[in-house]
Chains A and B, each alone.
Chain A
Amino acid sequence: MNATAMAQPGSQTVQTEKTGGTRIELAGCTKTFPDGTRALLPFDLTINGGETLVLLGPSGCGKTTILRLIAGLEFPDAGGKITFGADDVTSQSIEKRRVGMVFQSYALFPNMTVAENVAYGLKVQKVERRERDERVRAMLEMMHIDMLADRRIDQLSGGQRQRVALARAIALRPRVLLLDEPLTALDAKLRVTLRTEINSLLRKLGITAIYVTHDQEEAMALGDRIVVMQKGAIAQIGTPREIYRAPRSPFVADFVGASNRLDGRIEQNSLVLGDIKIGLEQIGHAVEGGPNGHHDGNTGQGAADVYFRADGLAICTPDQGQMRGRVEAISYLGEKSRLTVSGIGESAITLDVDPDFQIAIGDDIHCRFNPERLTVFGRHSNARNAAQTM
């Protein structure tokens, strides 16, 4: 999409970014609600032109508040600054910002048809009738809902409604597309289909997009970068691969699906788990404690949290086994079976096996770690200092 195509008819400003999307910057933003709740701690965030940024986190972490700050539905506390390209929009209200919004509840106008919904923004912006009809038709075709043009909203399925909502949001060629959990209300299968469609749509349009979700899989599938949020603060920003393979804190590791946790110790550049010793150089990702930890392998001395997914442990023969556990439950998932195993850590551990592997509840199994798939967090922020003094 070239620069002129991004310009909105009827407005004098012409998009100049070569990237095709507007670069968005939030600088020194905080948000305190009137009742005194600190919704967002001070943060800076840059979304590159044409990038899809996913805000990921549990409910109440502040991800939707960031979206609403960018939308112009909320305003940052004094001192915060929001820019769209070279445009300072900090005090601009949503009507002026040219943002496209897609909501979890679809928020389609029930008193209008599909085509009228999509045309609404164009009508408000006084786009001439013929051009309006033409653009609405193109939008509906792009979203594969042209045959629904004259339907009423209550005659549509959830997936169709969300397609209409997307068409309505992009019909005005907004500077940024803001999606607030758009797939949460849909069933699992449709969610995956529509996710793929949204992904290719965003790539095709080259539009800057910010996508809020609490679903890790959705975030990984859609995001160029993911921002993991925790209690009003940014816990980590990175590509899906970075977030998945190199989580910076136990919270991030846990939130992106490394649900197994063991207590360990770090001694002389080795991870010690009971009577097992694994060299830190073999560990996939090791972080010293503290908020700015980095994975240089030098994780000092002391207690450590070990996180891993279902692929962090593998069943093996008794002579190769590092530990023994007992199968408590088996879930057949088709392409694999997931075992719940007790006796390894304090709480049960999940691990995956081949679905045809012969095993029953109550069986004893032997397994060993896959060090590359382990993530280790030193528990003390001064662990490194302690190591130096020794």
Chain B
Amino acid sequence: MALQNLGEGRSRPSFSRYFGMSRSAMASPATFMALMAPGVAIVAAFFLIPLVLVAMEVANGPDGWATYLVILTNARYFESLVQTLLMSAGVTVVALILCGIVGMFLVRNRFSGRSVLIGLLTLPLSFPGTVVGFMVIMLAGRQGAVGSISNALIGEKIVFAYEIAGLFIGYLYFSIPRVILAVMASAEKLDPQLEEAARSLGAPRWRVVRDVILPGLMPGLISSGAICFATAMGAFGTAFTLATDIDVLPMVIYTEFTRNANIAVAAALSIALGLITWLCLSAVRFLVGEKADLATRGGA
């Protein structure tokens, strides 16, 4: 009974939901505590304790709590933050558009080679970031395929693996499987008769997409977009392999920590990175989450 109740909670950004206070059919306090214990233990071991330790590193540093402001006051850190944010947001948007179209198509159409195609599209799930970075170098690096072809054709080597474009492609490649799988899961649940109903009422294609398909896919797009954004914000392997011109925030943290032994700054940047990522995700959930939550209910 208690488990059922807990499972019923929807991912809506309201306090009463998060803390389960308003649930009328609550289990007895003892059962509730027993059920909460594993969760509390995991949160403590993997989240609270490391976070506190990192936060203490900041406090013990030369500048104390003021270190947190370094991300705003130091031009290099601030620029890195902006670049990382723009990059992640860009990757997320492009991945959502691309995978929204592809995922919808894959669900609605049956053709030979379909399952092979799905398999190929979801393959990057099994690659670590370093491998993806390596693949981008093979594609667009100094000895890459694009460079060789362009050299043969126009006598000029096109190389973009080590700039923002390379990083962008790497991250995108990395994100596609998650987003496609989530879109496909949402699309499977979309009743094709909803589209037929809209069309019978005279709605042209673009309106069907806007009024029926997008609201139906929204929960999948939000959740996979959130994962995509968070992954891109923290991705390190690809950036490290590419050794890009641009400093993404995880790279900056790595450099401060290992090379400069600037532990307090690294810790402050770490917490800032986590906090900003979380804030962005919460903002998106809050703005579109309510609508998307509605869209998934009802129907047949």
Contact = CB atoms under 8 A, between A and B. Distances in A.
Contact of B196 (A73, A108, A111, A121): A73
Given A111-B215, A172-B202, A94 B191 contact: no
Interface string B190-202: 0101101111111
A291 interface: no
Contact of B193 (A105, A120, A124, A185): A105
A369 interface: no
A327 interface: no
Contact of B201 (A73, A93, A172): A172
Nearest to B194: A107
Contact of B199 (A95, A154, A168): A95
A110 B197 contact: no
B203 interface: yes
Nearest to B299: A110
Contacts of B198: 109, 120
Contacts of B207: 124
A108 B204 CA distance: 17
B39 interface: no
Contacts of B216: 110-111
B196 to A, nearest CB: 6
A246 interface: no
Contacts of A95: 199-200, 202-204
Contacts of A71: 196, 200
B294 A110 contact: yes
Contacts of B215: 109-111
B212 A109 contact: yes
A124 B296 contact: no
Chain A interface main SS type: mixed
Interface in A152-195: 152-156, 165, 168-169, 172, 185
Q: How large is the interface on A (under 10, 10 to 19, 20 to 34, 35 or more residues)?
A: 20 to 34
Contacts of B193: 103, 105, 107
Interface string B282-294: 0000000001001
B196 A94 contact: yes
B29 interface: no
A100 B200 CA distance: 6
Interface string A77-111: 00000000000000001111111110101111111
A125 interface: yes
Interface string B265-300: 000000000000000000000000001001111111
Contacts of B295: 110-111
A107 B297 contact: no
B156 interface: no
Contacts of B212: 109
Given A94-B196, A107-B196, A152 B294 contact: yes
Contacts of B294: 110-111, 152
Contacts of B191: 105, 107
A156 B300 CA distance: 11
B297 A152 contact: yes
A125 B202 contact: yes
B298 A154 contact: yes
A169 B193 CA distance: 13
B211 interface: yes
A12 B201 CA distance: 17
A105 B299 CA distance: 8
A95 B202 CA distance: 4
A99 B291 CA distance: 30
Q: Quick one: which of B191, B298, B300 has the most chain A CB within 10 A?
A: B298
A81 to B, nearest CB: 21
Given A107-B194, A124-B207, A94 B300 contact: no
Given A97-B200, A121-B201, A152-B294, 14 more contacts: A93-B199, A95-B199, A95-B202, A95-B203, A101-B196, A103-B197, A105-B193, A107-B197, A107-B300, A110-B216, A111-B294, A152-B298, A155-B298, A165-B197
5 contacts: A106-B299, A107-B191, A107-B194, A110-B296, A121-B201
